[in-house]
Amino acid sequence: MNERLPVISLFSGAGGLDLAVEACGRTDDAAGILRVAVATDYEPQALRTLAMNFPETPTLCKDIRQTSADELLDLAGLSAGEPTLVIGGPPCTPFSKSGFWLEEKRGSLDPNASLLDEYVRVVRDTRPEAFILENVQGLTYSTHRAQFTRLLQQLEDLGYNPRAKVLLAAEYGVPQLRRRVFVVGRRDGKAFHFPPITHSGVSERDRKIDATKLPFVTAHDAIGDLLPGTPESREVVDGEYGELASEVPPGQNYLWHTDRYGGRDVFKWRSRYWTFLLRLDPDRPASTLQAQPGPWVGPFHWENVVSASGEKRARRLRVPELLRLMTFPDDFKLDGNRTDIQRQLGNAVPVQLGKVVVEALMEQLGHLDRSRRSHHQQLELGA
């Protein structure tokens, strides 16, 4: 294989899409076909995480609004038209459901929404062969229709014929019911075709199972072998609702403690967010891992632990478990404390989901042959 094809990574964060790019086409006996030629983010911590895992990749810690395309191209050693891909997910805070309680979020008035325009600008000025943009599903909601429509129109005006679709991570082998919107476009104007679904199971919206697909990867499939594991600081769910959390069965949440279920009659029906006191169901994929959960926001592990006072308590997921549920490598390193790590991973793209999209694009561009896929991947795609 000749020199790997160059990629410009924007809003890189913890590097979920960067890992997907580097893994594209990698097999047991061959390296991947892509390399991240430059990665950028405005958070120093994100760049420290990237440096620990991508030591050969040039990085730039700078606000994208003050970053020219020429600066990115120079760091990557490229000229306009030479990047194979531009990838990235502009910060999703303006479009996340968790921000809807803020009026400026509901009305799409958050100034960070303009970062979508910055992404378009970099695509315009670097002229990659293709691009991949990802974001939270909330970007597609009616409250953000103006921003989303403008994004697609701007990319259309550049000739990239953008295609957008909300993907459920569990339907592509990720042990998590996380939905992300992907927008993909090609410089030659040909339409991108999203990869076929490979897995099926019960989700929060679908009770039908397609027997022709592989079953969802469950939480137990992903992290069961990590038990009993090594306890982490502040993992015990204690305090005001600690005892109630420990009594919630696997797969249930605070609704267990309403007058309609078998727990204590403490809460009113549907008076809290779904994730309040939520416990993992080992036989299903995890719910979405949140970047900044409150003290009572799950998913918590399905098994209890014994607290310092000798009482049974629920526990928070540990870092190795978070990595597995996000399909990051076990040896991936993250800078910062436990809260920092949760935020970085909660904002990231599951690596397996990104990889499926990247490989589909590389195949359609003619850069990747299915023979470069692993045997397991070929089975998943019915090759």
- Contact at 8 Å (CB) between 144 and 138? yes
The HSE-up count of residue 64 (CA atoms within 13 Å, CB side) is 26
- Tell me how far apart the alpha carbons of residues 132 and 36 are, in angstroms, rounded to a whole number: 13
Q: Which helix (H) or strand (E) holds 151?
A: helix 145-157
Tokens found for residue 26: 């990698």
Cβ neighbours of residue 244 closer than 8 Å, sequence gap 6 or more: 254, 257, 263, 264, 266, 277
61 is catalytic: no
Tokens found for residue 355: 């990889």
Cβ neighbours of residue 197 closer than 8 Å, sequence gap 6 or more: 171, 172, 210, 213
Catalytic annotation, pick one of 21, 73, 92, 133: 92
Q: What is the DSSP string of 48-109?
A: HHHHHH-TTS-EEES-GGG--HHHHHHHHT--TT--SEEEE----GGG-GGGTTSHHHHTT-
- The answer to whether the peptide bond before residue 83 is cis (omega within 30 degrees of 0) is no
- Tell me how far apart the alpha carbons of residues 202 and 200 are, in angstroms, rounded to a whole number: 7
Q: What are phi and psi of 234, to 5 degrees?
A: 65, 25
Distance of CA 381 to the CA centre of its chain: 21
Active site residues: 92
